[in-house]
Amino acid sequence: MTTINVRVDENVKKQANALFEELGLDMSTALNLFLRQAISYGGIPFEIRRPNAATLAALEEVEQIKRGELKAKRYNSVDALFADLEAE
């Protein structure tokens, strides 16, 4: 066995630890799983890519809504949401 030292944001570490605990894993086991999956997959075992223009526009719209620069519709139920979508 060998040791790997990894620098990671403290909040990311806390969130990851909480998730792994829920899954019955510790950080070391989770990282070993990731490394083994990467070896088995022959690369990073999930897609990594830059967001496209539509995604970037949607993210900016969310930020504008959060800042109060844009009004957003709100619904009290899923049924109300779908009724509004079907009406368009």
pLDDT of the residue at 42? 97
Q: Name the helix (H) or strand (E) containing 85.
A: helix 78-87
pLDDT of the residue at 46? 92
First to last CA, the chain: 61
Angle of helix 27-41 versus helix 10-22 axis, rounded to 10 = 90
Query: Distance (Å, rounded) from C-alpha 12 to C-alpha 20?
Result: 12
Q: Which residue has the tokens 């999930």?
A: 46
pLDDT 10s digits, 23-82:
999 999 999 999 999 999 999 999 888 889 999 999 999 999 999 999 998 899 999 999
**Residue range 1-10: mean pLDDT, rounded:** 94
Cβ atoms within 10 Å of 30's Cβ, excluding its own: 15
Q: Indicate the pTM of the whole model.
A: 0.56
Which domains are delineated in the chain?
1-47 (1.10.1220.10), 53-87 (no CATH)
